[in-house]
Amino acid sequence: MSDTDHSSIPLMIRQGQLIDEIASQVPLEVEGEWSKLIYIRTAVSMNAQEEMRVYRPDGSVGSALPPLDMEDLSEELRKVMYRDGVGTWFTATWTLEREESGEISVSSEFDYENEPKWDASITASTYAIELEDFPRDEENIPEWLKRKVLKA
């Protein structure tokens, strides 16, 4: 990530910049031909994991390591996308598809509500810290998150 100060950029503009920058980073470490790439970033408090699925023209599916810059960009994006009382996303997904024309279409989705799927277990206190870092009004706390926090 560059050392440029982004604090003077309006949040909605910075949000768009970050979404585009992450999308542009997705294919950088992918070797060989691909027809579709899916980058999934899951985050709660200081815990995060990512996955990159690579769909090949021959129909095979593999994986690749995301570029290192993705972590900082994603963390900044969670902060920028925080909405007062609503929270921020738990899972973000970017999908890049190579069209027959060679053009690449990009879409992104942000899930503020559903419980993330983790490869390793996450402690209840981590979910409590998430609510401290990104406060949500009572009606915007999903039931699964309430249950996790009660265990903290």
Supply the pLDDT for residue 8. Answer: 72
Supply the pLDDT for residue 151. Answer: 79
Residue boundaries of the structural domains of the chain: 11-150
Identity of residue 35: S
Q: Measuring CA to CA, which residue among 108, 133, 111, 144 is closest to residue 19?
A: 108
pLDDT digits (tens, 9 = 90+) for 57-95: 999 999 999 998 899 999 999 999 999 999 999 999 999
Name the β-bridge partners of 53: 38, 63
Give the whole-angstrom CA distance, residue 68 versus residue 26.
Answer: 10
Q: Does 1.10.3470 match the CATH number of domain 11-150?
A: no
Supply the pLDDT for residue 102. Answer: 87
pLDDT digits (tens, 9 = 90+) for 4-55: 556 678 888 999 999 999 999 999 999 999 999 999 999 999 999 999 999 9
Distance from chain centroid for Cα 149 = 22
CA-based torsion, 5, 8, 9, 15: positive or negative: positive
Distance from chain centroid for Cα 147 = 23
